[in-house]
Amino acid sequence: MPEKPLTYKKTLQMRRNYLGRACKLHFEVSPLKIVRASKQYLYDDSGSEYLDCISNVSHVGHCHPHVVHAGQEQMGKLVTSAGFLDDKMVEYAKRIIETLPDQLCVCFFLNSGSEANDLALRLARSYTKNEDFVVLDHAYHGNIGSLLELSPSKWKNLNITKKEWVHVVDCPDLYRGRHKDDANPSLKYAQEVHSAIKKAKEKGRSIAGFLSEPLMTLCGVINPPKNYLKLVYSFVRSSGGVCIADEIQVGLGRCGESFWAFQMHGVVPDILTVGKPLGNGHPMAMVVTTKEIADSIGEFNSTFGGNPVACAVGMAVLDVIQNEKLMSSARNVGKCLMDGMRAIAPNHPMLGDIRGTGMVIGIEIVTDKESKKPSKEGAEILAYKLKEQKIIIANDGPHKNVMTLLPPMCFTCDNARRVVQAFDLALADIEKGTSNKPLDQSEDTKMNIPLNILSGLGGSTGLGMMDEEEEEEEPDSKRARYDEMD
């Protein structure tokens, strides 16, 4: 007989007992228990359907039947580690390379975007014989040590001190950045990279590479101004460094205008990294680079990178992107969404900026349009109000005030119109509740959050919603000892 599923409260309690406190949940004070998914929808344990605006890893849609079948079929034939000749691996590598400029012609297979970016650093250092990297402020590039040191967005929370080999420059933000009003912001922002390289040389250091997303997601969905990447790539290469494009979140047609985000800017990176969207969430990643850079490292091993199941799944994902015309869909649906948001913007003083391209969109929530003051609390309240309307969205960016939309690529114009309508209603409700008072200065703003979540503020994982009897059902001595260490 099938096991009886755990209750919501029991799952929440066991998460507290057995998972690290640092492991965050969406909607922490009232988290969802998602039990299945299909296309652009998630379903909770009560059967409620939610529109998913955040699962970019499920690139072509949750549980796409063509992708699922390809994985199941290959898993029934062969699952093995790397080191053997395999048709699936070489066929998949060929298909990826056919989407890229000629010089990007050598693939390395891995299991995650973090692994891919780490290998990119190794390749850059091996090829250039240099050590240092230039990165954008507020960027994030992976969850392993070498990449956290190149992810300024995580430094404060993780108590990471900037290393001498890391050089941070401003994100080219045209909404609130320091050069937003300059006559040539591309040049001004690019000159910061040139200055960082010059300062490094004055200290006797040399640049191995420049690492950035061609469309910066964690920075708050920042699309670089025209010619910015052309100038930066020129400065980096003239100094002996290489250019790395992190397309883990923005590649594979997501931007709508081109298959790879870097192609929108008329540049070609020396190293390209891609992550789990390749496999629609199946552990899969790649580095693609030039032959000269690839040959600069003596040996490379990844036990399960490029295994037959991953490559079968990856080819199915490419099939779906092509057969369902998802790149052009991303362009059209993204336009529908942004046009809709811009249409309601005049009615909402908190709707500060709408930007992005294709299915990568950021919406700034501010206290008012004139000051542009970021409203983190307004964004958090908005996320909960949209959740109440069965829409899942996240607030991100350096001030946590940017509503970030990176949904599965099967998102439709009907979905976009639903999101716009939900924003319109929720913002009107929030703005009405705060009157003319700046949201971040109101002591009562949390009262605007629906679902009665104030009762859950007793713990960071929402455990304040559990009564004492439920908590005591399964005492855990290890957890008790863990609590005593606080």
pLDDT in tens, 188-211: 999 999 999 999 999 999 999 999
Cα dihedral: 383, 388, 392, 397 (round 10): 0
Select from 219, 262, 271 the least CA-distant residue to 110.
271
Q: Which residues contact 458 (CB under 8 A, 6 or more apart)?
A: 464
- What's the confidence (pLDDT) of residue 463? 36
Give the mean pLDDT of 371-380. 96
Question: How distant is the alpha carbon of residue 189 from its chain centre?
Answer: 23
Give the mean pLDDT of 342-346. 97
How far, in Å, CA of 306 to CA of 84, rounded? 11
Enumerate the CATH 3.90.1150.10 domain ranges in the chain, comma separated: 326-451
Q: How far apart are the first and last CA of the chain?
A: 42
- What's the confidence (pLDDT) of residue 442? 38
How far, in Å, CA of 429 to CA of 287, rounded? 46
Judge whether residue 1 has pLDDT over 70.
no
How far, in Å, CA of 378 to CA of 434, rounded? 10
471 phi, psi to nearest 5 deg: -65, -30
- What's the confidence (pLDDT) of residue 128? 98
Give the mean pLDDT of 354-368. 97
Q: Which residues contact 452 (CB under 8 A, 6 or more apart)?
A: none
**Residue 29's pLDDT band (boundaries 50, 70, 90)?**
confident
- What's the confidence (pLDDT) of residue 84? 86
- What's the confidence (pLDDT) of residue 456? 34
Q: What is the pLDDT of residues 418-459, one digit of tens each?
A: 999 999 999 999 998 753 444 334 333 343 444 443 333 333
How far, in Å, CA of 362 to CA of 378, rounded? 15
Judge whether residue 471 has pLDDT over 80.
no
- What's the confidence (pLDDT) of residue 434? 55
Question: How distant is the alpha carbon of residue 462 from its chain centre?
Answer: 24
Tokens of 275: 């992550």
Inter-CA distances, 391 with 66, 201, 411, Å: 26, 50, 13
Inter-CA distances, 206 with 8, 132, 203, Å: 54, 6, 9
Does the model's pTM come out above 0.85? yes
Tokens of 477: 């001595």
Q: What is the pLDDT of residues 132-152, one digit of tens each?
A: 999 999 999 999 999 999 999
Considering only the C-alpha atoms of the chain, give the largest distance between any 2 of them, rounded to a whole number of Å. Answer: 71
How many residues make up the chain in this entry?
486
- What's the confidence (pLDDT) of residue 467? 43
Domain 326-451: homologous superfamily in CATH: Aspartate Aminotransferase, domain 1 (3.90.1150.10)
- What's the confidence (pLDDT) of residue 164? 96
Is-contact 272 287, C-beta < 8 A? yes
Inter-CA distances, 86 with 44, 136, 302, Å: 39, 39, 15
How far, in Å, CA of 135 to CA of 44, rounded? 39
SS3 23: coil
What is the average pLDDT value for the chain, to the nearest integer?
Answer: 90
349 phi, psi to nearest 5 deg: -60, -20
390 phi, psi to nearest 5 deg: 65, 40
Enumerate the CATH 3.40.640.10 domain ranges in the chain, comma separated: 65-323
Judge whether residue 3 has pLDDT over 90.
no
Give the mean pLDDT of 460-484. 41
Pairing, β 132-136 against β 207-212: parallel
DSSP per residue, 134-145: EEETT----SSH
Judge whether residue 126 has pLDDT over 50.
yes
Q: What is the pLDDT of residues 383-396, one digit of tens each?
A: 999 999 999 999 99
**Residue 460's pLDDT band (boundaries 50, 70, 90)?**
very low
Is-contact 310 81, C-beta < 8 A? no
Give the mean pLDDT of 232-256. 97
- What's the confidence (pLDDT) of residue 2? 64
How far, in Å, CA of 479 to CA of 474, rounded? 11
How far, in Å, CA of 403 to CA of 53, rounded? 10
- What's the confidence (pLDDT) of residue 468? 38
How far, in Å, CA of 359 to CA of 344, rounded? 19
**Residue 465's pLDDT band (boundaries 50, 70, 90)?**
very low
436 phi, psi to nearest 5 deg: -100, 5
Select from 27, 51, 244, 40 the least CA-distant residue to 139.
244
How far, in Å, CA of 121 to CA of 246, rounded? 11
State which H helix or E strand residue 41 sits in: strand 41-44
Judge whether residue 318 has pLDDT over 60.
yes
Alpha helices in 111-215 (DSSP H): 113-128, 145-148, 155-158, 185-202
Question: How distant is the alpha carbon of residue 391 from its chain centre?
Answer: 18
What's domain 65-323's architecture? 3-Layer(aba) Sandwich (3.40)
